[in-house]
């Protein structure tokens, strides 16, 4: 009798386990599918290369009115407008550098999450390497 109850409990537990696994798989699917389909519905492209370009651009461009968020993640109205602008520029076959220049001209170098190397940003790029080199040099000299 006792064994029967134990095996019955095990069966229930196994069923529950598989039920939770199913729910988990369904939720993961739902999450992936919703983001995939949502972006496809909102921003349809004729070619996959344009879609990839749009996706990478929105990830590399900062939402200028948010705290450290890119355009792809942000729901701010301005981020939405900028996403739309980039979408139409990608559709019009403008190159990544043309799109970046358009945005930098209006919102400054700050809008790029990975700033370009130029006269205003060279300190930003060079300083860490220079600091490492100087410290290595000093470390070597002190020994």
Partner 1 sequence: MKKIFPFIILFALLTLLGRELLYANPNKFTTSLAGETVPNFQLNNILSEHQFFNHKDLIGQISLLNVWATWCYACKIEMPMLMEIKEKFHIPIFGIAYKDDPYDVKMWLQKFGDPYRLIGDDKNGNVAIDLGIYGTPETFVINAEGKIIYRHIGVLDRKTWETVLYPLIKKL
Minimum distance of partner 1 from residue 30's CB (angstroms) = 31
Residue 90 binds partner 1, judged by CB under 8 A: no
Residue 82 binds partner 1, judged by CB under 8 A: yes
If you search the block for the tokens 């537990």, which residue do you land on?
A: 13
Sequence-distant (6+) residues with CB within 8 A of 86 are 54, 57, 58, 61, 71, 99
Residue window 3-42: x/- pattern of binding to partner 1, with contact defined by CB under 8 A: ----------------------------------------
Contact residue for partner 1 among 53, 70, 85, 112 (CB under 8 A): 85
**Encoded tokens for 63:** 């939402």
Residue 106 binds partner 1, judged by CB under 8 A: yes
| Residue of 90, 100, 101 whose CA lies nearest to 60 | 100
Nearer to partner 1, 14 or 120 (CB): 120
């Amino acid at each position: 009798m006792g064994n029967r109850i134990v095996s019955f409990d095990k069966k229930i537990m196994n069923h529950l386990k598989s039920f939770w696994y199913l729910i988990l798989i369904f939720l993961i699917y739902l999450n992936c599918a919703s983001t995939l389909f949502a972006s496809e519905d909102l921003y349809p492209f004729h070619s996959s290369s344009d879609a990839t370009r749009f996706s990478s651009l929105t990830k590399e461009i900062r939402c200028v009115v948010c705290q450290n968020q890119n355009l792809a993640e942000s729901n701010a109205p301005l981020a939405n407008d900028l996403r739309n602008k980039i979408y139409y520029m990608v559709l019009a076959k403008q190159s990544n550098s043309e799109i970046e220049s358009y945005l930098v001209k209006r919102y400054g170098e700050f809008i790029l999450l990975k700033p370009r190397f130029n006269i205003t940003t060279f300190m930003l790029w060079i300083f860490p390497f220079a600091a490492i080199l100087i410290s290595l040099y000093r470390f070597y000299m002190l020994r």
